Amino acid sequence: MPSAIEQIVDSYVRLKNRRGLDQLMMHRQRLAVDLKSRSGYDFSLPIGQIDEEIAIIEAGLGRLNAENSNPV
């Protein structure tokens, strides 16, 4: 079963919503930067999750770019 982020990214790709994907990416990147700058607690688990989500979003952007370069 796909994760929530995979379903969201798939929907954005299907709707050709690049702006939505870009905003999702920027939000996750800001979260990652914020968590990586913190100390006093082990944030490795949420950072790992956010990194996985960034990879899923990047894959969605790649699919969207491929669809735009190869119109049907």
Q: What is the DSSP string of the chain?
A: ---HHHHHHHHHHHTT-HHHHHHHHHHHHHHHHHHHH--SS--HHHHHHHHHHHHHHHHHHHHHHHHHHS--
pLDDT of 72 strictly over 60: no
Number of structural domains in the chain: 1
| Arithmetic mean of pLDDT, 31-37 | 94
| Arithmetic mean of pLDDT, 18-35 | 96
Q: Give the domain extent around 14.
A: 4-69
pLDDT of 70 strictly over 80: no
pLDDT bin (cut points 50, 70, 90) of residue 67 is confident
